[in-house]
Structures are given as C-alpha cells and as structure tokens.
Structure 1
C-alpha cells in the first residue's frame, strides 16, 4: 500500500522586517523603507515592496540603495519586536500541526498531512493561516502548498506579496521544467552562473543531465539537483531538528575594501546570529568568519572560546578579531558570513546555569 501523498505548506512573511516597521509607524506606509544601515553607510537588512520597485534589496550597501531610491527612508532594526511577532505567528501554526519547521523568523514549513483540526485540504488550512496572521498581526504572508518541501517553497515565492499557490502532482513536472535555474531553492547565484555556462538555464535543461555528471560538477549536492529537477524531495518536516550551527551571511553588490565597511556588515550579521541563538535557546562556543573574495576564493577563520556566548556584542567582537587575524583581507571582499557552532541548548544545561555569558 502506497503511503499517502504528503501535504506541505510553506509560509513566508512578506518583507517581514520592513512590514513590521510600516505597521508600527503609519507615516511609513506606502513609502520606500529600508531596515538597517543609514544614508551614509551600512547595509540594507530588508526593503519594503515600495523600495524594491526601485531595485533596492537586502544585503545592498546603503549608499547604493539611496542612489537607486533618493526618497528611501532608513529605519533601525528592532529584532526584539520581530522575534515577538515571529513567536505570535508560530503559535498560530501550532494550532494546526506540531510538525512545524522554522527556517528563520519569517518563514516555516508545516506538514498538515494529518492535522489537529481534521481538515483534509491543505489549501484551506493555508488560506486560513494567512487570514489569521493578517487578522492577529496586521501583516501579510504568502503561502505555497504542495506534496514536498522543495515545491512548497517554490510555490510560496511565485505570487508575492500576499500570495497563494498550489502545485499539485500533475502540474509539478511542467512547472519545474519551465522554471529558470536561478529560481530553484538551493541553487545560489554562483551555482546558477556555473550552470548557465554549462548550458543549463531551466529545469528542463537540468533534467537532461545525468546524476553522475551533476555530482562530478557540483559534488554531493549534485544528487539533490538531480532529484529536484524531477520535482522529487523526500526531506521530512523536522520540528525538533537539532541544529549543530547557526549562521548568517551576505553577498554584496559592490566588493568591500575598507575595514569600516566590513565591520558595519559584521555588526548586523552578529545581531542576526544572536537573535537566532536566542530563539533556539542555545549558546555557542565556536565562532567562524567566512570570507569570499572578488575572485570567488573562499576562506574561513575560527575561534573556539573557553566559555559559551550568545550576545550580539560578544559575537561581533570575536568576528572583528578574526577579520583582523592574521591580517585584514588583502583583496576585495564580496561575501561575509558569521556562523557559530559547538552549541549548548537550554534543556541540556545544568540547574542554575546562566544562559547568556559575558567574556
């Protein structure tokens, strides 16, 4: 007897940080807003849809964003508010299923094959969740529904903002075949560029390549590319997945040369990592700095501490020292990333252990 077709929902909040700011500050509504940075320096963490029309996107240098949109309004990020809203949204999810896998503050997978309200239609559940999010938070979300995680993620991105897309088994193959390779979840800009040089521009092109060739060209992830080209994805929604590391990284439109520009980016990355650690109720012992240079050469620098940490300032301090040790980057930097590992979760801590440690 064949197992039942899975019913997977992917919920993705629309321009989450920027939308929260517009919700809480009526004077920003309908205007181009960038969260993070400033007119003079820094990096955009999130952009409202009004700003995106001008070509302003996350990870863009603030000065470039301002050039693209002179009327752009910069606001400081309020991660504690975003985290609180994220918890509110997650409570809605758990009223339908315990199989919820958060990917970040603003998106998650839900497996509703079997659900708490006994509703056989995943589409009805997804639309109800969208409506409840809007009613309870005054924010909009986009939802994708399909029979696996890959397709649900693709679906949620097709009709943003406030979108809903269902990909049924009979439509999946044709949709994937016509999808531009850079739209595939799990295929980044660099990999997409390499594929295009190989003559792979769409899912149909990817499907023509053998699994052996894809593994030869891209390593183990080639197995994944082979399967998703055929709309296959057996990954389960993992609500209790124990993460071994937490990280955040950004690729920049213009390579960074000045130390102060790199430090600006590291401050924001450290904040993102710290809020993920807080959300997961964990601390870290190892901090790793990732550098990718203008020529795509990649380098990592790591430091393992005596104690654990989860505060943004502490993470930034270690990352800053790693940037300078053994010396500052000697070539233009196109990507910076911070990740932390050797995690210690709250439920594993001995009694009276203090979660947040200074060092």
Structure 2
C-alpha cells in the first residue's frame, strides 16, 4: 500500500481548550471552574469552553443563553485575541526548535513535519512528547498530539487522548486504524455528510472502503475521491510552512436586535475599523468586501462586491459595506453584522516548494 508513496513523520499539535485555558492561566480564580470565552447569558456565541464546562455539554459555537441553561454556574469571559496571539507565537517558537516545516492552522493548532528534524531524533512520538512537555513547562498550558504518516491521520489521532495526551498511529497500524474508525471521526465528514453516509450503510472506515470510487463520486461529488483515498491511508498533502491567508474578517453579535439601519451603520464603522487594523497589521489588502448579516431568526445572508483595486483603508471598506447594506431591504431585525475581505494580494505569492521524503515502511516512529 505504502511502498510507492512518500511516508512522512507528521505531528498534529492541538492545544487543549486554548482560549479558555489561557483565561484560566492568567486568572487563577478561574481554574477548575466552567468557563466560556465569548457569548453571554443573554446573547452571543461561545468561542471556546473549558473542559469543566464541556462536561455539561457546553461547546464552541453554542448560543450563550443555551449554555447557561446547561451549566448555571458557567462563567462568561470576554475574548482577548491579542493575548491568545501572543501565547500562540511562544508556542510556535517551540515548534521551530524542532523543524522549519510548521503549518499553523489557527492560533491553537499546527502540523509539523519531523521526518528530518533539527534535533536528529528519529522518533516523532518522542518529539511530540518533548514539545508538549516544553509547552507546559515554559508556558503553563497543555496540548494534545497525533502522530502518523500523513496530515489526515495525525489530525484524527490528536483528538483521541484529549486533553493532555497523544496517540501514535504507526505505518503498519494505519489500515486497521482507519477501518475501525467511526465515520464521524473522519476529518472533513460533517454532520450532514455523516447522515447521508448512514443512509447508504456507511458507519465505519471499513464500510467506506467497500465502496468504489465511482460510487462515492456519484453520491458525494468531488469529495468522493477524497474519501476513497484517505480511508486507504493515502493523503499526500505536504506540510506547507507558508500557508497563505485567503481572507480576513471581523464581526459583532449585538446585545439587542437592530432594526434601524442608522444603528447598523454605527456598528459597521467599528467593524470596518477592526478589519482595517487587522489588514494593516498583516500588511495585506483585498479587493472583495463581503457583508455578513444574521437576522433575529438566525437566517444568514451574505452580500459581496469586488472592487477593481486593492484596499485596506477603513473608510473605503465602510463605504463598500454601506453600499452592500443598502443593496436590498433587510428582511428582519439583525442580531449580527460582519465584514470580511478576500481576494487578497497575498494570493499572488507562490508557496515555497517542499520536496517529498520517501523512506522505508519500517522505521522508528
């Protein structure tokens, strides 16, 4: 199966309840207590929940008013993204002590290719263990890790022994691991896709493996070939150390629904300023402005406009967002507004090419 494929040693590091853990780190009074970052008892959506809160069913993307019903003792904390970014930089600095092939997915997770590494350590498992220990000793946070031959399996494995654990799927264990895997655990299979697979009699990786590529493409389109190959341990995506940002956004959920466009414009001004600040900080500009509107009944609408030139100025962003707001009549009162910039000038930059590393199937992992 693997003889003709590049076998890499990939680590996926995933911080444990990152935002909530940072809040507990900075405020000892929050340690051991159910904490939700973002949201509130009345409004808003939770960005992260501590493990103490998760025991009650509280999770990210959940409405604050539902979370408080599940956990009456829940403590809401305002997010501090600059602080999270500061901690994230310290964590990445540790990663770079082991390899230059680091692909951050977000502030709290990243892929590392340690097939060849700066420490000359042949064991990816020991490297992951050392990295997790350093994060705890030097920063005070716990992390979990998945280790395997490709990014897909490493990411799935990192969720197995959370929090503060790791799982290695050795090359000779890959096929058995994937065959026994619940289809819901496959990265890229969401709730809707899982339900569709259930209807087709696909519950595990073994069930998925029985389907032909034509069958999967017929029922799942382009994703069908992806499912066909990953369940066979084939996923050749390399760790890309210069992952290019494709969009940048900011949004706000309001304590009360807005029905007046005058009040919406006031909020959009602040959102446009925040988007501009982030663009300038990243030294990028964009051509496409997208206005995101979530109504009081939770229906979502987006409106976009592509300009003939790149912008990052808050006034130009706001003017474009205003045009989009007035583009058509609002169907209901509004609970959330957001602005995103895409079609960024970074997309013209080509990533540095990474050479594949081929090694024998039997090697220390």
Common fold by TM > 0.5: yes
Matches within 5 A, 1:102-251: 102-246=104-248
CA contact (8 A) 1:34 1:45 kept: yes
Of 309, 312, 316, which residue of structure 1 is paired with 2:312?
309
Could you tell me how far apart the structure 1 residues matched to 2:334 and 2:13 are?
37
Could you tell me how far apart the structure 1 residues matched to 2:141 and 2:108 are?
11
SS in 1 for 2:122: coil
Deviations 1:310-351 (A, max 9, x none): 87x997996787567423357999x99875312134998xxx
Matches within 5 A, 1:10-29: 10-29=12-31
Relative to structure 1, is the Cα distance of residues 331 and 42 closer, same or farther in structure 2, using a 3 angstrom cutoff? closer
Aligned to 1:341: 342
Could you tell me how far apart the structure 1 residues matched to 2:272 and 2:233 are?
36
Offset of residue 214 of structure 1: 1.4
SS in 2 for 1:9: strand
Offset of residue 198 of structure 1: 1.9
CA contact (8 A) 1:140 1:162 kept: yes
**Which structure would you say has the larger Rg?**
2
Relative to structure 1, is the Cα distance of residues 197 and 78 closer, same or farther in structure 2, using a 3 angstrom cutoff? same
Deviations 1:226-270 (A, max 9, x none): 111112111100112334345799xxxxxxxx668xx9xx99x99
Task: With the length of structure 1 as denominator, give the TM-score of the two structures.
Answer: 0.80
SS in 1 for 2:164: coil
Relative to structure 1, is the Cα distance of residues 193 and 337 closer, same or farther in structure 2, using a 3 angstrom cutoff? farther
CA contact (8 A) 2:103 2:111 kept: yes
Offset of residue 122 of structure 1: 0.5
Could you tell me how far apart the structure 2 residues matched to 1:69 and 1:213 are?
44
Of 95, 98, 109, which residue of structure 2 is paired with 1:96?
98
CA contact (8 A) 2:6 2:236 kept: no
Aligned to 1:326: 328
Relative to structure 1, is the Cα distance of residues 38 and 314 closer, same or farther in structure 2, using a 3 angstrom cutoff? farther
CA contact (8 A) 2:279 2:312 kept: no
- Higher mean alpha-carbon deviation, 91-100 vs 324-333, is at 324-333
CA contact (8 A) 1:248 1:272 kept: yes
Could you tell me how far apart the structure 2 residues matched to 1:341 and 1:270 are?
14
Aligned to 1:36: 38
Could you tell me how far apart the structure 2 residues matched to 1:310 and 1:6 are?
43
Relative to structure 1, is the Cα distance of residues 103 and 137 closer, same or farther in structure 2, using a 3 angstrom cutoff? same
Relative to structure 1, is the Cα distance of residues 111 and 160 closer, same or farther in structure 2, using a 3 angstrom cutoff? same
Over aligned residues, Cα RMSD in angstroms?
Answer: 3.8
Offset of residue 276 of structure 1: 7.8
Q: Any gaps of 5 or more consecutive residues in structure 2? A: 252-256, 350-365
SS in 2 for 1:45: strand
Relative to structure 1, is the Cα distance of residues 321 and 183 closer, same or farther in structure 2, using a 3 angstrom cutoff? farther
Could you tell me how far apart the structure 1 residues matched to 2:322 and 2:60 are?
22
Could you tell me how far apart the structure 1 residues matched to 2:192 and 2:276 are?
27
Matches within 5 A, 1:258-269: none
CA contact (8 A) 1:281 1:345 kept: no
Could you tell me how far apart the structure 2 residues matched to 1:157 and 1:310 are?
40
CA contact (8 A) 1:12 1:108 kept: yes
